[in-house]
Each structure stands twice: as structure tokens, then as C-alpha cells.
Amino acid sequence: MVNVGILGATGMVGQRFIQILDKHPDFEITALTASSRSAGKRYEDATTWYLDDAMPDSVKDIIVTDTDPTEVSNNVEIVFSSLPTENAAIVEPKFAKNYIVASNASAMRMKKDVPLVIPEVNPEFLDLIEIQQRNRGWDGFIVTNPNCSTIALTLTLKPIYDSYDINRVYVSTMQAVSGAGYNGVPSMAIVDNLVPYIGGEEEKMESETLHLLGTLDGSDVTNANFGLSASCHRVAVVDGHTEAVFVELDNDVDIEDIKNTMKNFKSIPQDLNLHSAPKNPVLIREENDRPQPRMDRNTNNGMSVTAGRLRKDPAFENSFKYILVGHNTVRGAAGASILNAELINKTIL
Amino acid sequence: MVNVGILGATGMVGQRFIQILDKHPDFEITALTASSRSAGKRYEDATTWYLDDAMPDSVKDIIVTDTDPTEVSNNVEIVFSSLPTENAAIVEPKFAKNYIVASNASAMRMKKDVPLVIPEVNPEFLDLIEIQQRNRGWDGFIVTNPNCSTIALTLTLKPIYDSYDINRVYVSTMQAVSGAGYNGVPSMAIVDNLVPYIGGEEEKMESETLHLLGTLDGSDVTNANFGLSASCHRVAVVDGHTEAVFVELDNDVDIEDIKNTMKNFKSIPQDLNLHSAPKNPVLIREENDRPQPRMDRNTNNGMSVTAGRLRKDPAFENSFKYILVGHNTVRGAAGASILNAELINKTIL
Amino acid sequence: MVNVGILGATGMVGQRFIQILDKHPDFEITALTASSRSAGKRYEDATTWYLDDAMPDSVKDIIVTDTDPTEVSNNVEIVFSSLPTENAAIVEPKFAKNYIVASNASAMRMKKDVPLVIPEVNPEFLDLIEIQQRNRGWDGFIVTNPNCSTIALTLTLKPIYDSYDINRVYVSTMQAVSGAGYNGVPSMAIVDNLVPYIGGEEEKMESETLHLLGTLDGSDVTNANFGLSASCHRVAVVDGHTEAVFVELDNDVDIEDIKNTMKNFKSIPQDLNLHSAPKNPVLIREENDRPQPRMDRNTNNGMSVTAGRLRKDPAFENSFKYILVGHNTVRGAAGASILNAELINKTIL
Amino acid sequence: MVNVGILGATGMVGQRFIQILDKHPDFEITALTASSRSAGKRYEDATTWYLDDAMPDSVKDIIVTDTDPTEVSNNVEIVFSSLPTENAAIVEPKFAKNYIVASNASAMRMKKDVPLVIPEVNPEFLDLIEIQQRNRGWDGFIVTNPNCSTIALTLTLKPIYDSYDINRVYVSTMQAVSGAGYNGVPSMAIVDNLVPYIGGEEEKMESETLHLLGTLDGSDVTNANFGLSASCHRVAVVDGHTEAVFVELDNDVDIEDIKNTMKNFKSIPQDLNLHSAPKNPVLIREENDRPQPRMDRNTNNGMSVTAGRLRKDPAFENSFKYILVGHNTVRGAAGASILNAELINKTIL
């Protein structure tokens, strides 16, 4: 068993880390950190638990510490980070001197020597770790996963990108409120309403997706070279981001081919049989009105993305459109970092 | 005063007709029709009133009749139709023999000799009336307005279309539940959920918008010649459709120009000072997070469309994106038919 | 393994039966019935699946039959009924000639010789089975469980009733939309709204609760003799009924005593270790703002009721108040019938 | 015209003050205060406007000042206060030295010499003003209105209290999220959920209601002497509190009498024809499923309370139950303070 810690363990994504890691075959939670207000308390006493499933007994008595490497026992090997961006920018490098940091924060994602990875999409970007350690003189390292809405989109685009020439992608999101944290979206903003704006989200989707589908050559990533435009919106859904995707290829489209390409997509995590890897990263629903977030977000423990309404786009040549749903705090956050750690544990440690 | 009737007066759009026509300076409701179940009853007794404002006293005692021209007094000149499609296809032509039918139903919209009109967009299509009457030997005629989501989109595209060369439009909607009628969307489908499908909606948006922006030459409409692709979704909002729009032009984009073009857009209804015409068909909000349906749907009595987040699209040349909100049962339904009737009343009768 | 069938298997409670019975150690689903529209189809083809968890593979290929005893194989021993009331009144007696009918329908609940049972509350009412069989000449029999909101209330009142003299109970509910079936509550009625009325619900709560807490003497049930008044309301929650309860006793109240009495309550299902019986039928939360339906409905697989905010009522002597949450389609419907069947299977068959 | 100011003008209740006072025949807004962060800015620039109706033009250019009497011009006569409690406790007395303070804050409500008033219920409590001024040596004074849920309840209880002997009242609320301010309730707490707790609310309802129905004798208020117990809960509704009320009288109940007593209730504000006074403070709906908050909150500009489902309580002698809906930020907050000020303006100034 590898001892692991969670940085920012009392927040919503921190709780998802705990929920998913409970009874994990390879990882055992032995450290939990939070703000100094919580430090010194039992986790159960420090935390207002927000998830539907009850808090696992195994973490209740762990004493929360400050988010500081000197406070965390050095028999911990991996720390998962769900820290706020500004905080992550300062703290994660400190931890990386001695620990493996699997981070869901955006702070370090776009650093040239920090791998931004979805295991099914670009596992080879982990080669940056060696460069990172050399550059920075660290014994540990940082690996990051993308933004929640990016992950779901990229998992569905990857098999298409590998088999066809993508020309353009437009994506319009309907995102769950949990993505903003427990206090992020006031109910006054969301009852009989929606908010057509999420700060920084469109930029992240546009840059991260092309980066993830890009090519690593030595220490340089060359982005995928198609255009991608996002419009991001918040709706009255607890968990599960829905995205409407329009794709233009360079050549003619056969919908059944596209569908099979998505459906049959498998990659390294499936080959390695990683614990959190779904048998199929992308599922296809055939019903007219699916996927729907409440119905489809939890499929395969929230680690698969469900696509549906795959249809030719009559308005444009070589074009098709579809809808996808992915669980934003599982596949889009905690589960993403954990799958990264599982890949590292199996291939590097 | 012109005496008017409402076909399908007990339904949700029927109620909007009543609400908007109450205290109208030119139209007076003297006939209300519904299914035979309601015929013979006082309107108040026949109707479960769904709107937030109370039922106007003026209609309470009107006796509801069957939806049949022989039941409606012939001192009625205009009938507004909010009939279900199949029903409208049969009944509206019967009424058109003697009455002006201003219809919100989709049944006759795409008939070659039936004008599909938004007064600010293509008032000249009313010229088809003469052809229609000649073709069909009617003393009355049918004029239709487009689908709710089409109207809001087209009002914002029209000023752009007149000043620039549009190349492509992608639109992704987040539509209110009232659009499906009172019983249309079960709460199980919409609480902590959304439905990424609305039957026929994408097709209507794609065909009607290009038709409305097209050119009438004699009896033929030549569609606007750009590509338009829609993806339509239902969210937990009572009234007010929100649309995310991506536009590609043929030439370079200056966002301030675009904004001013939309903001300054005025047309025939404004020139004629029609009672229901808003001073500005399109309003622009400058805040990051607007328009929002609950906040913006009622602006100018629900007859203006509010656009916001007008921004360059960094992903594509000559491109920009924006968000719009329009009231689906006012500007997108009852108000649209009434504005058509006001235009006819002022220019033809 | 006992072969079981589900009457009305395509509806929402029918689906809960399937979900809970999947992988049940003692019961195996071998028959599924529905309306004639579905008869002859594979269950997967006949059903729009509404639950968050996917449809179990084991039922997908079962051929749905009409809800008629002659269509159901006679190696089935128990049928679970989630039929609509009027239908249940006709069909359940036909099945009871040869099958054990564990019914969630209200049709037969108040028949003098039909046991209305919550296993933790009044298991001794099963003695009515013998009388029922004798009266009606049936080889099988009908056993019923109460209404969803009654079950949750009664589970919390039972331990109090056994230890104190209850004088009055007032209960005000905030019920989930799933209780009305998938199409029961339009979204127009529940977005930014609530419906302060549920047909027949108050009457059921008032009569069933006193019956369940009553005494069986031969073939006669003497109701518990305190007053109980209910007011029932529907709110925008998918699953989980919340109830605000005011109780007046005959004597002084010690809140800690009450709390311990509820918390320590165990009964026959716990003693017999029935598969679906929760270790504790009633759980107590100490936080100010719990229980909450989304957070607490699934505790112990939805089979426990969670109470909280247990507090003295300063307005009245000998009085206290509390809040409870129970899962309406699990503990309040399918799970209730299944627990009844488990009790029968262990003690009678 | 009386010049008026609003203390705490940028918050949600502050905005309601502005909305209601716009075009008021007797009051003209000439001063707006807020926290120092907003001081010095134009109101339009200082405020994120939350209401559905647009911000009135008349206030846009008013320069917001600190909430300090020295900053407010002394030609202002009345200031309306929607300050947070702690703040109100400090600031309102300062203003009362020279201004009339009509306050919606709870800080001073229960001070012995401060009138807590609903104009239809206990206008005679304004006699305390003289005592207050004498006690405190103020030229101005403070008058307060009760909590939002108290006002709606008390308006319906008052006519009953005047005609019958009330023995007990139990009330269970389903309150709108706007009552907690724009940021008060996170959407994570209210989507597919409810919160069965509102800090201090039950205590306020219980004490304020009995106080309002009490008797003023010199400087002493003797509370109404029946028991009243409240349980308070937050649900997914934007505006409009719903309350389920159980009443026990000393004598037999005739529901038609009760209904007529409520329906015919009129009081001083109706006699004086105060601008904001509804013709009827209490309206009765006869439908089974009304009142509903979205449908009924705005009746009579939100100043009437709507009651429905008036029915005998079969569980208890001399008892009946009903449901009510009142607009929490209009009749329950800003409108309440304004009606108090109108009464003062007409009878005292």
C-alpha cells in the first residue's frame, strides 16, 4: 500500500478524493491537510460533509494538519491537491521537493515542464517528469489533470482526433453548480435561472484541450492544430456537466464510424487495468433524449463520459454534433488526479 | 376597436394572449375557443390559470366556444391561434376563409404562400397575403410567426446580416420549460437535471431563421445563404430562452461595431410606433454574467431580446460569440402574433 | 431462492423493486408484468429506465407479460405490486388466490382482514393472514405496507409511543416529486414553486399511522388513541420526504431520553437479521440543519429514517418537535414491500 | 412630498425599497446609504441589481453615502432601514435622534419602547413613540416591522383572534431563498434539497406574533395568551413564503365563518386608504392546490397574503388548518416598513 495525503481535504473535491480513495486497493489515506482553522482537529470535527454517501469511518479520526510539507509524515508518497489556485501555486512546489503531487488545481497546469495528463489521452506527457525534476532539483514532482469540462470533452474528441482530421470544434456547456464549490453559486442565481458565464472556463477549455491532444517532442508540446471555441454556462444541476459539441472534419462523415470509434476507444489505463479506469472511457446512448446529467453522471462510478445524440450536421459539410455528460467532481476532478496517480504508481514508481 | 378572438384560449400561450391583449388600445377580446370539453363554460370556470398575474376580469365571463368558425361571431376580425400543430393544420384554413388568422402554430409556417413574419425582420413578406388569398379563394388569410427560439435568435442576427456577410452560425439553446406547455416537461426530468433534446426544435431554428432573413421575389423566398446549426436543450427555468451563439463573418470583426449595430437596430414596428413594439428590439448588457433569464426576460414587457457577452472568438478568424435571452411565451409566441396583427392592422386593414 | 414477480414493473416503484431485488440473497426475479402495451416485449425494450443506477442486466431479457395471474408462471411464489390503486383493487385479489402479494398499493390497505404492516412496528398484524385466507378461500394472501410519508413518520413515533403517552401529533410534510410517479408533477408546478396539496395523502397519514400503532385483538385492530393531524406539500426534491413533526406527550419531556429511545429502537427485523433491515431504523443527526433530503435519503441504502433537530417545544408543556427524512420510493415503497416479504419468508413460509 | 432615505440600499431588501418607492405619491428617495465600499459612487455603479424589474432611472445617479446620519441631508425626514442586525443595533439609534427610522431589521424590535407594528394588526402600538422619544431624548424615533414569516402569519391570525378564542397554533414554513439575502443560501443546499433550519426564525415567529396580537397598556405590552409553535424550513423558491397553519380554538369551528372573517378583514390602512395598503389584506383561494408561491406572491403588488385549503381538522376538536403564501421581501420586509411609514405620515406627521 502507498500512503497518500490530501491537500485541501475539507472542501468539495477533497471530500471526493476521500470517497474514491476509501477501500482503494493500492492507496491508503494517512494525511489530510486544510487551512489553519481546521489544523489539529479530527477530520470529522473539522468538516461539514457534503456528499450523499456518508463520510468513511477510516478518515474520521485522522488529525488534520496545516497544508505544509513539514507537517506531513514523510512516509506519505503521493499527495493529492484540491487547493485553490493561488494557494496551489505557492504550496505545490514546496511539496514537490519530496512528494509526488497529483494536482487538480490549475496553477501549474500550463508550466512547460509540468505534465497535464489524462491517462487515456496523453500518458506519454509523463516523460516531462524527468525534465521537471532536473530543472527544479526536486525529488518529487507535480503532475496535473485538466479542468472538469475539458476532461469530458477531450475524452470524446481523442478517438475522433486519432482517426479523422478535425477542422473545427464549437462547444457550449451546461455545467453543474458543484463545480464552483459548496458556496460558489448562490441559490438566487440558479433557481428559475442560469448564469451564462464561468470565469476563466472558456479559456481553459480552449487551451487545455488542444494541449492534451498535442504532441510532446522532447520538452516541447505542439498543440493540436484545429480551432476550438467554447461558451460556458452554469445551470441548476448538482453534479454532472453537459456539453453540446459541434465538430467539422476535413472529410466526409459516417456517423456509425464515428460512433464506433468513440465506443471502442480504449487506451493505456484500460490495458494496464488501472483500478479507477472504466472499461470504456466513452459510452454511447442511443435514446433521443440522453445523456442527462442526473441519469448518466454516475455510470461506471462516474469515470466514464456518456455521449449521445450523435448526428450529422445538415448545416455544414463534413460535420456532426453530439451531447456529452461527465461527472465534474469525479472524472473531472478527484477521479482524474487519482487515475493519474494510479498510472504513475504502475509505470514509474 | 377591432374585435379579436383567441383559438386555444385555455392553454399557456392562450393565456399569454389574454394577458397581453388586456387593455390593448386597438384590440378587444370578444371570442375565446377551446376544446369541446370547455365549450359552453365561462372562461374563468373552464381555465386553470397558470400565469403569475391574475386573470383579467374582462375575460372571466366570456363563454368559451368550440374552435370552429361557425361558433365565432362574424364581427370578430382577427383570431389569434395557439392551437396544437395537427389541430391548427385543419382548423386555421377554415377560419382563414373569413377571418385574419395570426398564428403561433407551426402547421402553416412553411407553406409557400403563407407569410412567416417577424415585423422587425421581414415585414415585406406580408405581400404574400394577396397571393395566398388569390390561390385559395379566401376572404381572410393566415399569417404566422416563427418558433420561440428562432425569433430571439433572428432578431439579433438581422442587424448583423444587414451590415456584414455572415458565413456560419452555431447556436446552442437552454430553453425554459413553459415552451412545452404546462404539462410538457415532468419535474422528474428537470430537477437536478436537464433534457438535451426538444423534438423538431433544431430543424425549425435552422430552416425558419434562413427563411426569415431571405428575400421575397414575387411569390418565392430565397433563403439567406449561410450555414446555421442548432443544438436545443431544456433546463430548469420557467420562462425565458437563453442561447449561446457563435458567428463567423466573411470579414474582420470589430466588436464595438457589432454591438452598436445590434443596439441601434430599429425597424418598421418602431417607425410605425406599434403598440407592442419595444423601443429597441435588441438590448445589450455589458456585465460579464448577463443576460440571465429570470433577470432579463421581462425587459420591455418581454418584447425585447437581451444580448450580452459580445466578444471576439479567439479560436477563429472573423468570428465572435454572444449570449441572448428572450421571453419565449411573450416575444417568442403570443407577443409575436400580436405584433404581426398590429402591423397588419396599421398597414393593411 | 424464492422466485418472485413484480406487478407494474415498468413504473417508478416497479423499477425500485428491480433495483433493490437485484442480487438479493433470497429472492430471484422471474416475472415482470405491465400494461398490455408492454406485454410481449423484453423488459429493456418496454421500459424507459428512470433511476440513476443502470438497469440490472438480469432483468433486461425477461419478457414482460400482462398483469394477469394466468400469464405468470406458477413457480413464482411472491408478487410485489406497485399497481395504481384502481387496478390493484381488481388484480391483487386475483393473484392472491395462488400467490403471496406484497403490495405497495393503497387499494387493500384498510380491508379488515388485510395486514397493513411495517415489520419494525406491527409484525404481529401478520396474524390476519390466516383469517384473510379463511374468509376469502385463498391459497395465497395479500399483505400491504403503508403510504410513503406514513412509514417514515411511524418508524420515528413507534419507539416514542412504546415508552411515553402521546397526546397529540401535528405533521407537515415537504415531499419529493418522485412520489407522484415520473409524470406526476409538471415542472411548471415545481420550478420556483411548490404545491401545497397531495390528493388523499393527509387522510392516509392520519388513518394509517394510528392503525399501525394500534393493537390487534383477534381480527380487530384498535387504533392508537391520540390525535394526529397532517398537512402535505410537494417541493422541488427528486427523492426523500421531509417531515416537520410536533409531539405533545402526557408527561414531561426529557429530550435526551427521547433521542436515546429513537436511536436505540430495534425490532423483529433487526433481531431476525432480515436482509433489507437497517441496523437502526431511526438515525439521529445532531447538526442544526440536518436531516436534508439529498444528503440523508440514501443512508443505509435508503432503509433508515433520519431524524434531527430534536428539541423541546417552548410553546407547549410536555412537548417537543423534530424533523425527519425518509426515502419515499425505497423505505416508503419498494423497500417496505420487500421487507414485508422478507419477514414473511423467514417466519411463515 | 416627504424626502426619504434608504439605509443599506444596495442589498436585496434595499432594492425592494427602491422598487416600491419608485413613483410613490408621498415619498421621494433623496438619500441612499451603504457600506463604505460603495460610498461616493453613483447608485447604479455601486449596485448589482437583483430584481426582475429594471432599476428605476430616478435612483441611478444618486451618490451613495456611508450609513451615518452626518452624511445624510437633513431635509430627509424618514429613513428606511434594511441593515444587518448587528449594524442596525448601532446605527439606527444614531439616526433616530433626528430622523424617523422605519426599520425592517430585528435589532430594536423587542425593545420595550419601540413599536413593532403591522398597520392592519396593531396600529395603536405607535403610541409608544412618545414614550420612546421621552425615554431617549430623541427628536426622531424608531418604528419596526416584524420578521417576514411572522407578518404573513399574523395578518391571517388577526381576524380570527378578534372573533374567536385561539387556544393553540402550530405553523410549519416553506420559505423562499431571497429571505436570506442574495448570497445567503448556496445552490448546493437547495437544488434537489431543502434546509430544515433557519437561524432564529422560529423564535422570532413565536415571540413576535404573540406580541403583535397583544395589548398595549400605557408602556406595557401584554402578549396574546395562546401557545404558538413554529418549525421553519428553506425550499427552492425565489420569493414567497408558504406556511402550513394548524389552529385550535376554544369553541366549535364553522369553516365558512372563518373564511368570511379572513376575507372580510379590513383595518386602519384600508380605512385611511394608504397608498400601499391592499384592498384586502387576506385573500382566499378556493382551489385545492392553492396558494402557490410563484402564482400568488405578487397579488396586489405583493401586499396581500393569500390563504387557501381552509379545512376542518378532523383530528382535533374545535380545530382547522390552512395554507398561506405571502411575499417575503414585499409584504414581509420593504413593503411592511413603507406601510408603517405611510401610516405615520398620515396620522402623526
Q: What is the pLDDT of residue A348?
A: 87
Whether pLDDT at D235 is above 90: yes
- Cβ contact D194:D236 at 8 Å: yes
Report domain extents, chain A. 2-147+334-347, 148-327
Q: Does the beta-carbon distance from B177 to C188 stay under 8 Å?
A: yes
Residue whose cell numbers read 419468508: C345
Does D292 show up as a binding residue in the annotation? no
Determine the residue among D44, D52, D304 to mutate to test chain B binding: the one whose Cβ has the most chain B Cβ atoms within 10 Å: D52
- Cβ contact D251:D165 at 8 Å: yes
Candidates C53, C192, C298; nearest CB to A52? C298
Q: What is the pLDDT of residue D299?
A: 94
C49 in contact with chain D, both atoms CB, cutoff 8 A = no
Instruction: Give the residue numbers of A annotated as catalytic, written as ranges.
Output: 148, 241
Q: Does the beta-carbon distance from D292 to C168 stay under 8 Å?
A: no
Q: What percentage of chain B reaches a pLDDT higher than 90? A: 97
Q: Does the beta-carbon distance from C50 to B188 stay under 8 Å?
A: yes
**Phi and psi dihedrals of D144, rounded to 5?**
-120, 155
Does B261 show up as a binding residue in the annotation? no
Report residue C54's pLDDT band, with 50, 70 and 90 as the boundaries.
Answer: confident
- What does the alpha-carbon distance between residue C160 and residue C162 come to, in Å, rounded to a whole number? 5
Peptide bond into A146 cis (omega under 30): no
Residue whose cell numbers read 393593411: B348
Residue whose cell numbers read 453522471: A297
Closest CA to D166 of D218, D209, D121, D221: D209
State whether residue A186 is helix, strand or coil.
strand
Q: Does the beta-carbon distance from B50 to D298 stay under 8 Å?
A: no
Does D42 show up as a binding residue in the annotation? no
- Cβ contact B141:B111 at 8 Å: no
The ipTM is: 0.96
Report residue D349's pLDDT band, with 50, 70 and 90 as the boundaries.
Answer: confident
Residues B195-205 have pLDDT tens digits of 999 999 999 99
Q: What angle do CA D331, D332, D338 make, to 5 degrees?
A: 60
Report residue D223's pLDDT band, with 50, 70 and 90 as the boundaries.
Answer: very high
The H or E element that residue A242 is part of is: strand A241-249
Dihedral sign (CA C233, C239, C244, C245): positive
Alpha-carbon distances, residue A48 vs A11, A30, B304, C287 (angstroms): 9, 20, 44, 10
Q: What is the pLDDT of residue C87?
A: 95
Candidates A54, A238, A295; nearest CB to C299? A54
Q: Which residues of B touch D280 (CB under 8 A)?
A: none
Determine the residue among B149, B167, B188, B192 to mutate to test chain A binding: the one whose Cβ has the most chain A Cβ atoms within 10 Å: B192
Does D201 show up as a binding residue in the annotation? yes
Q: Does the beta-carbon distance from B187 to C186 stay under 8 Å?
A: yes
- What does the alpha-carbon distance between residue C265 and residue B51 come to, in Å, rounded to a whole number? 48
Q: Does the beta-carbon distance from A309 to B237 stay under 8 Å?
A: no
Q: What is the pLDDT of residue B348?
A: 87
Residues C106-120 have pLDDT tens digits of 999 999 999 999 999
| Cα end-to-end distance, chain B, whole Å | 12
Candidates B174, B197, B323; nearest CB to A309? B197
Candidates D12, D191, D237; nearest CB to A190? D191
Whether pLDDT at B52 is above 90: no
Q: Does the beta-carbon distance from A174 to B235 stay under 8 Å?
A: yes
Q: Which residues of C touch D174 (CB under 8 A)?
A: 174, 194, 233, 235
Closest CA to D205 of D168, D254, D253, D172: D172
Closest CA to A32 of A1, A52, A53, A56: A56
State whether residue B98 is helix, strand or coil.
coil
- What does the alpha-carbon distance between residue D149 and residue C128 come to, in Å, rounded to a whole number? 48
Q: Which residues of C touch A299 (CB under 8 A)?
A: 54
Candidates D12, D50, D189; nearest CB to A187? D189
Q: Does the beta-carbon distance from A238 to C294 stay under 8 Å?
A: yes
**Phi and psi dihedrals of D101, rounded to 5?**
-110, 115
> A148-327: same fold as A2-147+334-347?
no
Q: Which residues of C touch D309 (CB under 8 A)?
A: 196-197
Residue of A nearest to C190 (CA): A192
Can you list the alpha helix ranges (DSSP code H) found in chain C? 12-21, 43-46, 57-60, 85-96, 128-136, 148-163, 201-212, 255-263, 268-271, 293-296, 335-347
All three cell numbers of C3: 422466485
- What does the alpha-carbon distance between residue A144 and residue A230 come to, in Å, rounded to a whole number? 22
What does C83-98 look like in DSSP terms, one character per residue? --HHHHHHHHHHHHTT
Q: Does the beta-carbon distance from C196 to D316 stay under 8 Å?
A: no
C307 bridge partner residues: C284, C324
Q: Does the beta-carbon distance from C174 to D194 stay under 8 Å?
A: yes
Q: What is the pLDDT of residue A349?
A: 80
Q: Does the beta-carbon distance from B235 to A194 stay under 8 Å?
A: yes
Candidates A172, A290, A313; nearest CB to B244? A172
Q: Does the beta-carbon distance from C53 to A294 stay under 8 Å?
A: no
Closest CA to B107 of B204, B31, B183, B180: B204
Q: What is the pLDDT of residue C53?
A: 84
Compute mean pLDDT per 10 residues along chain A, 349 residues long, and list them. Answer: 97 95 96 96 95 92 96 94 95 97 96 97 98 97 98 98 98 97 96 98 98 97 97 98 98 95 98 98 96 96 98 98 98 98 94
Closest CA to A337 of A168, A116, A39: A116
**Angle of the B148-163 helix axis to the B255-263 helix axis, nearest 10:** 120
Q: Which residues of D touch C185 (CB under 8 A)?
A: none
Chain A: closest CA distance from residue D329 (Å): 13
All three cell numbers of D73: 441631508
Does B308 show up as a binding residue in the annotation? no
Determine the residue among C52, C193, C304 to mutate to test chain A binding: the one whose Cβ has the most chain A Cβ atoms within 10 Å: C52
- Cβ contact A319:A248 at 8 Å: yes
Instruction: Give the residue numbers of C annotated as catalytic, written as ranges.
Output: 148, 241
For the domain D148-328, what is the CATH superfamily, name and number?
Dihydrodipicolinate Reductase; domain 2 (3.30.360.10)
- Cβ contact C3:C80 at 8 Å: no
- What does the alpha-carbon distance between residue A148 and residue C252 come to, in Å, rounded to a whole number? 55
Residues C165-192 have pLDDT tens digits of 999 999 999 999 999 999 999 999 999 9
Determine the residue among C191, C239, C294 to mutate to test chain B binding: the one whose Cβ has the most chain B Cβ atoms within 10 Å: C191
Residues B53-94 have pLDDT tens digits of 889 999 999 999 999 999 998 899 999 999 999 999 999 999
Whether pLDDT at C52 is above 90: no
* Region class of C236: left (phi > 0), else alpha (psi between -120 and 50), else beta: beta
Whether pLDDT at D156 is above 90: yes
Q: What angle do CA D86, D92, D95 make, to 5 degrees?
A: 150
- Cβ contact D344:D100 at 8 Å: yes
Residues D62-119 have pLDDT tens digits of 999 999 999 998 899 999 999 999 999 999 999 999 999 999 999 999 999 999 999 9
**Residue C24: CA atoms inside 13 Å, Cβ hemisphere, count?**
25
- What does the alpha-carbon distance between residue C100 and residue C349 come to, in Å, rounded to a whole number? 10
Chain D: closest CA distance from residue C275 (Å): 29
Residue whose cell numbers read 433521443: A288
**Which residues, including other chains, have CB under 8 Å from residue B149's CB and lie 6 or more apart?**
B173, B175, B179, B201, B204, B205, B230, B232, B241, B243, B326, B328, B332
Identify the CATH assignment for A148-327 out of 3.30.360.10, 3.40.309.10, 1.10.275.10, 3.30.1340.30.
3.30.360.10
Catalytic residue among D211, D232, D241, D327: D241
Pairing between β-strand C78-81 and β-strand C100-103 as defined by DSSP bridges:
parallel
Report residue B253's pLDDT band, with 50, 70 and 90 as the boundaries.
Answer: confident
All three cell numbers of A322: 453530439
pTM: 0.96
Q: What angle do CA C194, C195, C200 make, to 5 degrees?
A: 150
The H or E element that residue C312 is part of is: strand C305-312
Determine the residue among C188, C235, C294 to mutate to test chain B binding: the one whose Cβ has the most chain B Cβ atoms within 10 Å: C188
Q: What percentage of chain B reaches a pLDDT higher than 70? A: 100
Cβ contacts from A onto D, under 8 A: 55
Whether pLDDT at D141 is above 90: yes
Q: Which residues of A touch B205 (CB under 8 A)?
A: none
Q: Does the beta-carbon distance from B206 to A315 stay under 8 Å?
A: yes
Pairing between β-strand D166-174 and β-strand D241-249 as defined by DSSP bridges:
antiparallel
- What does the alpha-carbon distance between residue C38 and residue C64 come to, in Å, rounded to a whole number? 6
B233 in contact with chain A, both atoms CB, cutoff 8 A = yes
All three cell numbers of B204: 425549425
**Angle of the D255-263 helix axis to the D148-163 helix axis, nearest 10:** 120
Amino acid at C178: S
Candidates B192, B295, B297; nearest CB to D192? B192
Question: Residue D151, class by beta-carbon neighbours within 10 Å (0-12 exposed, 13-18 middle, 19+ buried)?
Answer: buried
Q: Which residues of D touch C168 (CB under 8 A)?
A: 316
Q: Which residues of D touch A190 (CB under 8 A)?
A: 187, 191
Closest CA to B31 of B57, B83, B56, B67: B67
Residue of C nearest to A187 (CA): C192
Does D91 show up as a binding residue in the annotation? no
Residue whose cell numbers read 456518456: A306
**Which residues, including other chains, have CB under 8 Å from residue D294's CB and lie 6 or more apart?**
B52, B238, C192, C193, D237, D240
What is the average pLDDT score of chain D? Answer: 97
Task: Detail the DSSP E strand segments found in B259-334.
Answer: 282-285, 305-312, 319-326
Task: Detail the DSSP E strand segments found in D1-99.
Answer: 2-7, 27-34, 65-66, 78-81
Q: How far is CA A248 from the centre of its chain?
A: 25
CATH topology of domain C2-147+334-347: Rossmann fold (3.40.50)
